[in-house]
Amino acid sequence: MGSSDTLKADSNPRQTVVELCEGSGEPPLIIIHGGLGSIHAFGPLKEKFRSALWAIQVTPDTPLSSLTNQATYYFNSIKEKQPTGPYRICAFSASSIIAFALAGLFERNQDVVSQLALLDHFPTTFLAPTLGVDVSQRSLHDPCARKEFIDASVFNLLAMTRRDGGGNVPKRIKLANDLFDAYQGRPVTPFMETNHATLIRFLNQIFDTLLFLTGDAGHSHSALTALETWLQKVKAPLTVYLGTYGMVGSVLPEHRQMWYDLRIRKSFPHAEIKYVTAGHYDILANDTVIEGLQREYLRRAKM
């Protein structure tokens, strides 16, 4: 990827909703940060988008006490800038679970969510072997489950970051190495300290949410069913873009029969799933993804 794959820090660091592209009056696509809380990787979107695009970033004011509080804060922040719908929600990476929580808030408020798009993630992976807690082997209530979840999530992110762009992108390899150092408690830059702290707090929030959603069903398919039931409360049309060497590239051969599509079809039989030749980060520069996210509004502009 070229030099434009990193978004310049030209926005107020306390600004939750950042306008990346002005558009022509259409409802903006609102994309949520990844697990690190930053929107720096959204440079290709800003460069290539031809319709309205906003991004949500973690700021010092973002409540990271619970996933519900974080989603509610984003809901209120969006409402301040866009009081009425329809709303178009997109999420990159592990913030897919925030996207569902946020879409649920809009729908319960009788707002229309006309588009829900996920980039290289789906929340069921939090309960998948090697990607999160393998609930077929360990209950979420096991004292070791939280550490297993955080370790698996971090190490999978490291692996995906290193193989991004075919494993030949020095800045991605450096990002992975710096994050690994931070996770090991070694000295890193203040920027990485903040990203690492945000990631760990976010992962703890997710685990707390999984415990709450699954209740006593902390193991096996009961936990998956509880999570999938919660996801299915959202009725917005769903599209998921998966990079061939991104998240699905982390599914081991022995788990592919159950997890080949991250169990998206199990939860949403009519979801649109698009596989693109891309990694976890360079999916953000993929033209098929960028066109697909804007398709309806670009078509209208041509009419």
Mean pLDDT of the chain: 92
Using H for helix, E for strand and C for coil, what is the string for the chain? Answer: CCHHHCCCCCCCCCCCEEEEECCCCCCCEEEECCCCCCCHHHHHHHHHCCCCEEEECCCCCCCCCCHHHHHHHHHHHHHHHCCCCCEEEEEEHHHHHHHHHHHHHHHHCCCCEEEEEEECCCHHHHHCCCCCCCCCCCCCCCCCHHHHHHHHHHHHHHHHHHHHHHHCCHHHHHHHHHHHHHHCCCCCCHHHHHHHHHHHHHHHHHHHHHHHHHCCCCCHHHHHHHHHHHHCCCCCCEEEEEECCCCHHHCCHHHHHHHCCCCHHHHCCCCEEEEECCCCCHHHHCHHHHHHHHHHHHHHHHC
Asked whether the predicted pLDDT for residue 9 surpasses 50, the reply is no
**Model pLDDT for residues 72-108, shown as the tens digit of each residue:** 999 999 999 999 999 999 999 999 999 999 999 999 9
**Model pLDDT for residues 117-163, shown as the tens digit of each residue:** 999 999 999 999 999 999 888 889 999 999 999 999 999 999 999 99
- pLDDT mean over 289-300: 84
Global pTM value:
0.94
pLDDT value of position 2? 36
CATH class of 3-302: alpha beta
Q: Where are the domains of the chain?
A: 3-302
